[in-house]
Amino acid sequence: MKTGLLYLLLLFFPLLTMGQAPSCAATLNGKVLSIQNDQLRLMYNLGDGWDSLIAYQLAGNEKQQISTLQNNANNLISATQKPGSTALVEDIALLEANDKSPYFGAFPLNKEHWTAKVMSFDDATDHHNNLVKETSLLPYHKADSYQGNLLLLTNKLANRGLFILKSSPSGRSQQAYPGRDFVIDHKQVLITGFGLSAADVNEGGWAKTYSYVLGFSDASRVGQLSILRLWQKQLRKLNSARDEMIMSNTWGDRSKDAKMSEQFILGELVAAAKLGITHFQLDDGWQQGLSKNSANKAGVRWDRWEPEDWKPHKVRFPNGFENIVRRAKELNISLGLWFNPGSNNQYSDWKTNAEILIGYYQKYNIKVFKIDGIDLVDKESEINIQHFFEYVMHATKGDVVFNLDVTAGKRGGYHYFSQYGNIFLENRYTDWANYYPHYTLRNLWQLSAYVPLERIQGEWLNTWRNRDKYPISDVLAPGNIPWEYQAATTFAAQPLAWMEISSLPTEAFTLAPLLKAYSVMQNSLHQKIILPIGDEPDGTSWTGFHAIGDKEGYFLIYRERNDKAKHSVKTYLKPNTTVEVRSMFGNGKSFKTKVGADGCLEFELPKPFSFGVYRYVESR
């Protein structure tokens, strides 16, 4: 994307340090900008409106460089955050002393009066339900440290915006984490936390660090978030046939694998087709080696597996997968499988595991694999898991979707391994009374500003179950909310029916026309830049999403429990633009209007817990 902005980073500090700070110089040769110090040379292509890194070169030969890295490696793990001094200051130099800790990225703030926001993210969603935390700050003379994967910098006076995205797991899951990701003062931003300890660097070999990306925009929030999203969409190009899905998974009804059998799955497939499901996933329990989460007391596997464990269970599937694969194909449903690669010996058997999945892909055309049980306790584990992903992707020519579970353990989170598939976001159960539709909607709403929702699964449940587990007085209990509305709260993401479809009551299947209508526009919606609008979901708000295209797009609007039949929602449309807004499905009405001076449009929905999905076109 052409922004009309060119940043020449004539740096007077190094882009990377692991000890003594080297000198730095920049040269421009045609369209290639070279930035060089005595450790590193970076070459950027400035042509075609892109500022892109095209090559890098380490000083000296490879062995000499790695040896230098080894000699300084102890500095990588000595940068744990220490309390800042609060002593009396009578000399500005005490405030502006350079931070001596190692860093692997830097950006100069060459104009005054920047503002900043740092976003940190929690995964391990079995334990967390507040997934995004924002910290606002004004860079000061004295450097301060912040945790987070994403930094947004804005200079309204100069109409400049910048994002820095650190491609790594969330803080607590990073390797050799120094307790901070950004060090910021009024002159510069340093990116910290290489992801390496001294033990991870060996003479004569390469050691992979975490990475970061910078993007430039104007000072508007929509400008910053749009540039960020365009970058994220490049990591994995959305392919409708491969990536779009309305999936079902039986684990949400908490019978675990007690019902897992060929007969049960065949019944589930018929019910799933009737409802409008496109993908059916066999969770834990299809395999011969039962896990410790099995309803069967014989299940003990988790960290250590053998290849024989990953054959279809001989009793539960006496015909292998032949019959269920045939029936799924007849019903136009794609199958997916649960898989746990086992953390034994730092995932050193990654190639054996990869060959297992490749075998199911080649024999049964199974393309979606839910990856569970990961615990990246050290760098070797992290590297081996990436080898596993890469090997399968290469063998299948990128035709596989890894459904990456982020519910527990130290895993990749929202900004690492993003190129391999989508995210299984959360386990919520009516059995435990921890499923509320507005909880799930809120998590999607908060994440949508910073993570593409087309790469996240949003779940809804069978809420005819366990109504007695919620207080009678609880007006936000799922049993008090229309099931159609609950399903629609997942539409900005990849919908997941977290339930046994065959256990649904007859009335539930009236949802089928809605899912059919949604499936027709699903890919068009997800090709857009989806950002949150309205108020944060809390069970009582007007909230939703704006899917931004070129002069056209979509609105998904939700009226939670409140008395307002009409509400003005601030969108990302330009003020005074005339738009035609057509109701596609849901409870809304079509209208034509002019966007308000503050970007607002007024929507009308007839009752609490109603929704509307709209397509809009800006008038020429």
Query: What is the pLDDT at residue 78?
Result: 33
The reply to whether 38 falls in a domain is yes
On whether both 546 and 572 belong to a single domain, the answer is yes
Query: What is the pLDDT at residue 111?
Result: 75
Query: What is the pLDDT at residue 49?
Result: 37
**pTM for this prediction:** 0.89
Q: Which residue has the tokens 């990536």?
A: 243
pLDDT at 101 over 80: no
The reply to whether 19 falls in a domain is no
Domain final residue pick, 188, 209, 235: 235
User: Whose CA is closest to 310, among 279, 344, 341, 332?
Assistant: 341
On whether both 381 and 261 belong to a single domain, the answer is yes
The lowest-confidence range among 132-136, 200-204, 356-360 is 200-204
On whether both 567 and 456 belong to a single domain, the answer is no
Q: Which residue has the tokens 């503002």?
A: 115
On whether both 556 and 460 belong to a single domain, the answer is no
d(CA 350, CA 389): 9
pLDDT at 337 over 90: yes
* pLDDT above 90: percentage of residues in the chain: 79
- pLDDT band with cut points at 50, 70 and 90 for residue 24: very low
Question: What mean pLDDT do residues 569-583 have?
Answer: 97
On whether both 444 and 552 belong to a single domain, the answer is no
Query: What is the pLDDT at residue 11?
Result: 43
What is the rounded average pLDDT for all residues in the chain?
Answer: 88
pLDDT at 438 over 70: yes
On whether both 250 and 229 belong to a single domain, the answer is no
d(CA 53, CA 174): 25
On whether both 226 and 286 belong to a single domain, the answer is no
Question: What mean pLDDT do residues 381-409 have?
Answer: 97
Query: What is the pLDDT at residue 91?
Result: 63
Q: Which residue has the tokens 């099931």?
A: 483
pLDDT at 240 over 80: yes
Domain final residue pick, 518, 545, 563: 518
User: Whose CA is closest to 613, among 507, 494, 489?
Assistant: 489
Amino acid identity at 111: K
The reply to whether 404 falls in a domain is yes
Cα 335 off chain centre by: 23
CATH number, residue 607? 2.60.40
On whether both 219 and 266 belong to a single domain, the answer is no
d(CA 486, CA 51): 43
The reply to whether 1 falls in a domain is no
* Beta-strand pair 115-121/150-155: antiparallel
pLDDT at 567 over 80: yes
The reply to whether 2 falls in a domain is no
Query: What is the pLDDT at residue 93?
Result: 62
Query: What is the pLDDT at residue 31?
Result: 52
- pLDDT band with cut points at 50, 70 and 90 for residue 89: low
Question: What mean pLDDT do residues 539-545 have?
Answer: 98
- pLDDT band with cut points at 50, 70 and 90 for residue 202: confident
Query: What is the pLDDT at residue 97?
Result: 59
d(CA 434, CA 246): 23
On whether both 253 and 167 belong to a single domain, the answer is no
The lowest-confidence range among 74-78, 332-336, 337-341 is 74-78
Question: What mean pLDDT do residues 62-84 have?
Answer: 37
Query: What is the pLDDT at residue 387?
Result: 97
On whether both 111 and 258 belong to a single domain, the answer is no
Q: What is Dmax (Cα atoms) for the chain?
A: 81
Domain limits for position 350: 245-518
CATH number, residue 330? 3.20.20.70
- pLDDT band with cut points at 50, 70 and 90 for residue 203: confident
Amino acid identity at 439: Y
Backbone angles phi, psi at 617, to 5 degrees: -135, 130
The lowest-confidence range among 24-38, 131-145, 399-413, 566-580 is 24-38
The reply to whether 11 falls in a domain is no
Residue 610 vs residue 201, higher pLDDT: 610
Domain final residue pick, 213, 235, 257: 235
* pLDDT above 70: percentage of residues in the chain: 83
Handedness of CA 108, 111, 112, 117 (dihedral sign): negative
Number of domains in the chain: 3
Contact 288, 260 (CB under 8 A): no
- pLDDT band with cut points at 50, 70 and 90 for residue 367: very high
The reply to whether 224 falls in a domain is yes
Angstrom distances, CA of residue 109 to CA of 12, 22, 189, 192 = 12, 20, 7, 17
3-state secondary structure 64-112: HHHHHHHHCHHHHHCCCCCCCCCCCCCCHHHHCCCCCCCECEEEECCCC
pLDDT at 21 over 50: no
The reply to whether 17 falls in a domain is no
On whether both 330 and 426 belong to a single domain, the answer is yes
d(CA 342, CA 309): 11
Query: What is the pLDDT at residue 35?
Result: 47
Query: What is the pLDDT at residue 8?
Result: 44
pLDDT at 54 over 50: no
pLDDT at 75 over 50: no
On whether both 152 and 212 belong to a single domain, the answer is yes
Question: What mean pLDDT do residues 29-35 have?
Answer: 51
User: Whose CA is closest to 78, among 99, 98, 97, 101?
Assistant: 101
Residue 31 vs residue 564, higher pLDDT: 564
- pLDDT band with cut points at 50, 70 and 90 for residue 6: very low
Residues 6+ away with beta carbon under 8 Å from 371: 339, 340, 341, 402, 403, 404, 405
